[in-house]
Amino acid sequence: MEPDLEDTVVPREAPPSGAAPVEAPPAEPQRYGFRVGGSRRTVLLDTAAYVGRAPVAPRIQHGSRPRLIRVPSPLGEVSSTHLEVRQHGTSVVVTDLRSTNGSRVSVPGRSPRALRQGESMVVTPGTLVDIGDGIVIEILPLQRRLGGPHV
């Protein structure tokens, strides 16, 4: 007669004395993201992103290489490397990279504000950043990398 599964006892092995308990690998951190214009494509902020009509990475870099996001600018209102979007800890920081025509930031619940050349600002999900030529960047809530249209 075969035993019922309920009657089967599998002994748990104790870790060898003095051995550290086995830990699960750390969960991948959640990242903020952003979307450019009406695009459905999400750019995750696992590294800094430089947005512009022909963006280039800085010559001197700290950390990983930034993601370069090219946007159209038929009227030339968007600078070649216009804006940096970066996750710093649990915050998102946008920085105008000394653009010619500036960046206008609209944080939910606050009046829109123009960033000065080189100025940075901490923003929240739902923030819209207008960099000219109809290009608006929308800051998205925290997300996990689970597939879908990510960059």
- pLDDT on residue 17: 63
- pLDDT on residue 24: 62
- pLDDT on residue 19: 61
What CATH class does 29-58+65-143 carry? mainly beta
0.95 cut: is pTM over it?
no
Whether residue 115 contacts residue 121, with contact meaning beta carbons closer than 8 Å, is answered with yes
- Give the integer Cα–Cα distance in Å for 81 and 29: 28
pLDDT per residue rounded down to tens, the chain (151 residues): 554 444 444 445 555 566 666 666 666 678 999 999 888 899 999 999 999 999 999 888 777 899 999 999 999 999 999 999 999 999 999 999 999 999 999 999 999 999 999 999 999 999 999 999 999 999 999 986 544 455 5
